Structures are given as C-alpha cells and as structure tokens.
Amino acid sequence: MSDYTIENQSSQNEEYERQPVPTSKLKDWKSFLGMYAGEHAAGTEFVIGPLFLTTGVSAFDLIVGLLLGNLLAVLSWRFLTAEIAVKYRLTLYYQLEKICGKRLVTFYNLANGILFCFLAGAMITVSATAVGIPFDMEMPKLTDTMPNSGLFVIIVIAIGAVISIIAARGYDTVAKAANVMSPFIVLAFLIAGIVAMGQLGVGSVSDFWNIWGEGSEPFPGQIKYTFWHVMIWSWFCNAAMHIGMSDLSVLRYADKPSVGWTTAAGLYIGHYMAWIAAALLYAVYLQSPEAQQLLAGGTAPSVAPGPLAYNAIGVFGIIAVIIAGWTTANPTIYRAGLAFQAIIPKANTFWVTILAGTVATIAGMFPAFAMKLLDFVALYGFILAPMGAVIVFQHFFAERWGVIKDYAEQRGVNFNMAVLLAWLISSGGFYLLSVSQGIFLSFLTLPAWLSCGVLFLLLSRQLQSK
C-alpha cells in the first residue's frame, strides 16, 4: 500500500474492504505502536483533561480511576478485538454484513460513520483553537453550541481539508503520519505538564495530590464525578473501538493478536499522562483573574485547548495542539470512510473518505461536540458497542449454542431480525433506564453490551430453528 495513489484507486480492493487482508500486507507491532500513541495522545486529551476538573473530581478518583479503567480497556483490545481481527482479517462493516445482512448493516454503517465524523469534527475544533491564536480568534466557550465567528468557520474548513486528504490516501498514509507526529505530541504533553506544575508551585507529591485534593463541587452544567465515574468512563470512552469491534478495521493488518498490547502505549501515555497534564494546564488557568471572575459570576471558564497550551509552552504548544487534532481525526475519518464505503461499495474509496471528511468538517464548526466531549463520547460508545457483542458472541459461543455463523451470508438473508431486535432492545432499554432514573450512561454500557450478545444468541437460535 506504500504506492497508494489517487490514480490507482480504481481497484476496489486496495483497502481490502470486502476480503481478508493478505499475508503480504500484514504489519508488526511497531506500525501500531506509533498509530495508537498518536491517536490516543491527541486532540481529545487537551479537552478531556480539563473537563475532568469541571466535574469536581478528587485526586484519588482521578489518578487511581484512570489507572484501572485504562487497564480494562487494554485488556478488551487485546483479548477481544485483536483476537477476532487476526482470526478473520475483515473490516467491522463486512463482518457485520455477513451476520446481519446487507440491508440491516447499511443502517448501522450510516450511524457508525456519522458518529465517527462527529468525533473527528470535535478534533478539528480543537486544532482550530490553536490556529486561531495568531489571528486573535474568539475562542469557543464551554456552553457554546453554534459557530461564534466567521474566522472560526474559515479556520475549521482549512484544517478539515488537510485532514481529509491525509485520511483519504489510505491506511499506510494514516499510520505514517501518526508515527511521525506522535513523539512530538507526547513530548509536548510532558513538557506542558511539567511547566504547569511549576506554575502551580508543586514541589512534592503532596503538593501534586492537593491540586485535586478531596474534589470540589462540579462547575455549572456538569455532574459530579466519583471514582466509579472515572474508571468506567475511561474504560468505555473507546467502547466503540474495542468491545464495539470498530478496530477490527485497523487490527486486521496485525501479524499476531499480541499487537493488541500496543494500545497500552496510547492509553497510558494519552489517557493517563496526557489527561493529567491537560488537567494541570486548566488548573493553572483557573487561578487567573479572568477565570476567577467567570466562576464568581456562575459561568464555567473556557476549556479551549489552544490558549491553555500556548500559555504554558508558547508556540510549541500551538503546534502540538494542531498536530494532536490531526492524529485523532485522521484515523477516525478513515474509519468513517470505510463505514460509508460499505454502504456504497462501488464508489471510489478516496472520494468516499473525502465525503466523510466533509461531514467531519461541518461538525467541527459546531463547538458543542468538543465542549460536551465527555457526554458525546459516552453516548457514541453506548450506541455502537452492543453491535460489537454480536461479533464477539458469535465467535466464542455460536457453535455451543447451535447458532449458524455468518447466518445472512450462509442463507442469503438481507435482514437478520435477531440482530436488530437484540440491538434495539438492549440499547433502547438501557438508554431509557439511564434517562428515567438519572443513571450515568457509561455505567450501562457493559450491561447493554452483554444483553445484546445474549439476546442475539437466543433470538438467533429461535428464528433459525423456524
């Protein structure tokens, strides 16, 4: 794929959307290490770290909760996603089509692709907060939902165009970009965290611990996070990728299942060190007269990543935020492109990915996706994860339960009703429970996932027997 060009994209199989990845194209752990480090030590981290502070989290809940939650996520990638990816070497979308049927999986792929576009859009917003600094751009506020200036829209369009072209050139280009950029981003987070600790006067472990202390009341419009909120949310913030099986599309290139351990590089650098470093940057800002005035007036101070990084490490911080947004948005748009490609398989892969990038760019114009990232990430993981249970439960339990594997393909079915009912009952039922009882949505992601898998087996056995 290193010779991948726009001209030779006429062949539908260059990204192997509808066939197993051939042995000659497999990659070892080094290709994935940089990609996962780049994707997870990236733009989202500049937003999520500060957002944890807005929830009034305590030191123990943040530090220990993240430690255990990320461990559970790594284990999910290694023993579920990587195992199945290497076994079949198919994209999520084609593997679901073989189980669900073409008509049903089209609806799922559309939802999947759009949600990934929204996530990528949030990262374009993040990069825009850095690009806008030299132009004295008004930064999005925590409560903003609509574009707040024409300059913001222009910057988002420019960034979105660059990111979309990189993603459209295929997996090799995405992986190479991440490998080049990720060391720079990791260094930026580390330096920013050290500088922020100096600005906060941290001279000992107890000083560091006291930044969060016993926690505080959440900011206006936020809910209070406990240890369980932090641990469960950090486990399932990437639920769509691991237990939702989206990363089958990436890990199908792995030469062995143990490549799944490389996700630890992304999580413990990105979802641990980087989140804490970004929270420190926000803690510095909260001590400023501007932030104190906003808090006194009952308004939550902005969490715009560009200014936070710039105040700590100057121009280096601006560059880091821009690149960090790219390294998250690139593979996310790539995944979205594959989802849309599964809907219109005869379409040119390059232009389908450009379409995904266009949708992401439009989403990036609306700051709500970035400013409400904790809630959005929890929601998209909750929606998409249960369908991954269909693949997992078929792989591990189909024969034991007497269920035909790849039923839609084997029987020429376009719409597998067992899958639809399992997905709707589990996702819809637990979402209604969350809304009616005020239960934190991430707490219900695992129950919904398990419920969907079990219902899939039960309903499949009953419907197939008829």
Residues of the chain with pLDDT under 70: 1-15, 38, 170-179
Amino acid 157: pLDDT: 92
b/e 397-436 (16+ beta carbons within 10 angstroms → b): ebeeeebbeebbbeeebeebebbbbbbebbbeebbebbee
Amino acid 87: pLDDT: 93
Amino acid 5: pLDDT: 31
If one looks up domain 28-373 in CATH, what number appears?
Answer: 1.10.4160.10
Amino acid 134: pLDDT: 82
Amino acid 173: pLDDT: 63
Predicted model pTM = 0.84
Where along the chain do its domains lie? 28-373
Give the whole-angstrom CA distance, residue 328 versus residue 91. 19
